[in-house]
A = this chain, B = another copy of it.
């Protein structure tokens, strides 16, 4: 499967906080957008996953922030799958503005069934 994808994100006003900066929790919404768009770019989507009885849940996530982002900023988000085996997918994220990295992130997504039980990834999601 495709393991890297880049999207463009324009900061929305409501994503900023009382200091005029994008609130740190909102970066995780950007990362989620990166994951879903990577999946879509690979020709898949969550509907397909659900039809296969698969739910992807975040089991760990982190971010490091280097520069504040503001309303109207146009950011580039690079999402990369670094591991996809067994029941886990690991992603790395790089958020850039004008070529400068403003934040990075890492996440672990677990594959579970309808009852929340761990389940092996479908073949097409695994990296080789």
A residues with a Cβ closer than 8 A to B are 12-14, 16-21, 23-26, 28-29, 32-33, 36, 45-47, 55, 57-65, 68, 70-72, 116
Contacts and interface: CB of A to CB of B under 8 A. Distances in A.
A35 to B, nearest CB: 9
Number of this chain's copies in the complex: 4
B25 A29 contact: yes
Given A13-B18, A24-B58, 10 more contacts: A13-B46, A14-B32, A16-B18, A18-B71, A25-B25, A25-B26, A25-B32, A58-B65, A60-B65, A62-B62
Contact of A17 (B14, B45, B64): B14
Contacts of A59: 64-65
